[in-house]
Structure 1
Amino acid sequence: MKKLLFLGILFLSQTLIAQIPYGSNTKVGKRVQVGDISMYYEIYGKGEPLILLHGGYGSSEMMGGMIEAFSKKYQVIAVDSRSQGRTTDSDEKVLTYAQMALDVNGFMDKLQIKKAKFVGWSDGGDIALELALIHPEKINKAVILGANFTGEVSGVFIGVDTTWRMNPADPLFAKTKKELAKYFSTYERMAPDKSKIASAKKKATDNAYNNPKITLAQLNSIQVPFLVMAGDHDMFTIEHTIALYKNLPQASLYIVPDATHISPWEEPELVHAEILRYLGKPYRKLDPVYFWK
């Protein structure tokens, strides 16, 4: 009887966790004024602060799996970027990752977070790189997934054949289609001002194709530990990912096998486990032939 009761409580708790509306949780969702925008954020768990930065056109909702996995060990702070998710747009005509990095810095100041670990996916990774350039003292360690250091117009973007669609019966598509459906409706469901959706989308698109504009010399100057992650079939070329890894002085590399740009949805167990492993230990630069000495 006790065993049945325990199993019932366990099932109920797991069901409640699965139903947490990450990115739209009215019980924990808050706002803070940062410059000319009202930034939306949610905090889960206790411990060392870990800031999650979502991908372009999305929101903290797309980081739900990470929030659930990481909040067991860290105080996870999931924020919505400028002009995206539930964070407001501004009257500025141009959106850049550099500006969003300034937003994150201002956000940390408002919440009195002196230093944090970071996980940035896609655009979120670009923001983390920009933050490392201007305020490296704010970053303890960072993980970036599917990030790029130059704009997509520079040839780092593999491209998309829009005449092709994966078979709906394919197990990988079936595994991700629910998250993708939510992602592609983010603006319509979450934008604080629906009248600005079109302009916000255009700014986000222009930003993605023209930014960031980080040079190799700038990458070489970053003295912050970074884990560079990407799917082995990511939409950014593997050569670009390797260049990013090689030019960050304190970098580690992890390529997710059989995965694309959305590896956290395709292979969450691999991705989450590797991020937790990396964040949980100090960075050390390895001598490739230490074992011969």
Structure 2
Amino acid sequence: MKRILLFLLLSTFLVNAQIPYGSNPKVGKRIQVGDISMYYEIYGKGEPLILLHGGFGSSEMMGGMIAAFSKKYQVIAVDSRSQGRTTDSDEKELSYAQMALDVNGFMDLLHIKKAKFVGWSDGGDIALELALIHPEKITKAVIMGANFLGESKGVFLGIDTTWKMDAKDLLFAKTKPELVKYFSTYERLAPDKKKIESSRKKVSDNAFNNPNITLAQLKSIQVPFLVMAGDHDMFTLEHTIAMYQNLPQASLYIVPDATHISPFEEPELVHAEILRYLGKPYRRLDAFYFWR
């Protein structure tokens, strides 16, 4: 009996380990959303949970989350406009607001009235923009390493070129496989290789100039958000906290000993917190309720 159970566990592990999340020809689909052909993959059953990846990447970088979350949710991982396997358009500029419209159109086409969201970096910015224009589409959202102002607004930490981590640090070995995949995303996945450089420039220019969400706009968002960031994230801790303090229904989680890529560095911690947050209803806390 024990041998049978062990065999089943090992078989399940091997099957999951071999699933090429984000690049799975068995489940990968396309749908025309406005002027782009959007690539997406769906796993699991239950309440819909839409995953939005970071800039220059694809749904591949959300593979760990797909595996963890599809046990409880119907996970829908999409490639954003001009990235991954989703096509670029002839528009000269890109914006998070436009990508939020893409997500809204995508949901309408798939008849998804409402969903939970997890957005990493640029994906978090898209979730914020969607909450501004279509809050009714979001049940709850988790945003990691997100920003409500573009990098040009001084929210990005400067780079100290005089200091480097120890090359033998185990963190390098732990994150390298995922980062190698991430940095080769365009060359491997872009549907039109001729547009790689122009697409990259659009994504880069967008991150530098956008988003431009005011504090007043943040305060108008009546959607529960979990604001997450590494304690050594690329964006200043002050900016992250300002976002948390101005979203009316926000919770805050700072991942210790982590950077902008905390889902690669501390996947068990990050996944567990996201599942905990998404699995419970939002409640507004009074800091002194226990005294009353």
Indicate the TM-score class for this superposition, using the shorter chain for normalisation: over 0.9
Q: SS of the residue aligned with 2:49? A: strand
CA distance in 2 between partners of 1:284 and 1:10 (Å): 38
For residue 200 of structure 2, what is the aligned residue in structure 1? 201
Alignment-mate amino acid for residue 263 of structure 1: S
Report the equivalent of 1:218. Answer: 217
What's the offset of the Cα at 1:4? 1.9
Q: Identity over aligned residues, as a percent?
A: 82
2:132 corresponds to which residue? 133
Gaps of 5+ in 2: none
Query: 1: CA distance between counterparts of 2:94 and 2:160?
Result: 27
Specify the alignment match of 1:291 in structure 2: 290
Q: Matched residues in 1 for 2:79 and 2:168: separation?
A: 33
Tell me: CA distance 1:196–1:163, structure 2 relative to 1, closer, same or farther (3 Å).
farther
1:167–1:173 Cα contact (<8 Å) kept = no
Match of 2:88 in 1: 89
- TM, length-normalised to structure 1: 0.98
Paired AA for residue 47 in structure 1: G
**1:69 match: secondary structure:** helix
Report 1:1-293 matches (<5 A): 2-161=1-160, 165-293=164-292
CA RMSD of aligned residues (A): 1.0
Residue 3 of structure 1, CA deviation: 1.9
State how far apart, in whole Å, the 2-side matches of 1:291 and 1:10 are.
Answer: 45
What is the Cα deviation at residue 12 of structure 1? 1.9
Cα distance, 1:163–1:88 mapped onto 2, change above 3 Å = farther
User: Contact (CA 8 Å) 1:176, 1:266: kept in 2 or not?
Assistant: yes
Give the letter for the 1:269 counterpart. E
Aligned with 2:166: secondary structure?
Answer: coil
SS at match of 1:249: coil
Distance 1:141 1:12 in 2: 34
Q: Secondary structure at the match of 2:284?
A: coil
- Equivalent pair of 1:168/1:174 in contact (CA under 8 Å): no
Offset at residue 227 of structure 1 (A): 0.3
Shift of 1:165: 4.5
Aligned residues: 292
* Deviation of the 1:162 alpha carbon: 5.1
Quote how far apart the aligned CAs of 1:164 are: 5.1
Post-superposition CA distance 1:169-218 (Å, at most 9, x none): 21111110110110000000000000000000000000001000000000
Distance of aligned partners of 1:19 and 1:197 in 2 relative to their CA distance in 1, 3 Å threshold: same
2:12 counterpart letter in structure 1: S
- Give SS of 2:82's match: coil
Give, in whole Å, the separation in 2 of the partners of 1:37 and 1:83: 9
**Cα distance change of structure 1 residues 218 and 173 upon mapping to structure 2, 3 Å threshold:** same
Aligned mates of 2:62, 2:197 — CA distance in 1: 24
> What's the CA shift for 1:16?
1.2
Shift of 1:13: 1.6
Kindly provide the amino acid, as one letter, of the partner of residue 186 in structure 2: Y
List gaps (5 residues or longer) in structure 1: none
> Secondary structure at 1:41's aligned position in 2?
strand
Classify the secondary structure of the residue corresponding to 2:253: strand
Letter of the 1:223 counterpart: Q
Distance in structure 1 (CA, Å) of the matches to 2:21 and 2:163: 31
The answer as to whether partners of 1:256 and 1:271 remain within 8 angstroms in 2 is yes
Q: Which amino acid aligns with 2:287?
A: P
* In 1: Cα distance, 2:106 partner to 2:164 partner: 40
For 1:241, what is the secondary structure of its paired residue?
helix
TM-score (norm 2): 0.98
Aligned to 1:113, what secondary structure does the other structure show?
coil
Counterpart amino acid of 2:120? W
In structure 2, how many angstroms separate the alpha carbons of the residues matched to 1:37 and 1:241? 32
Distance 2:165 2:85 in 1: 31
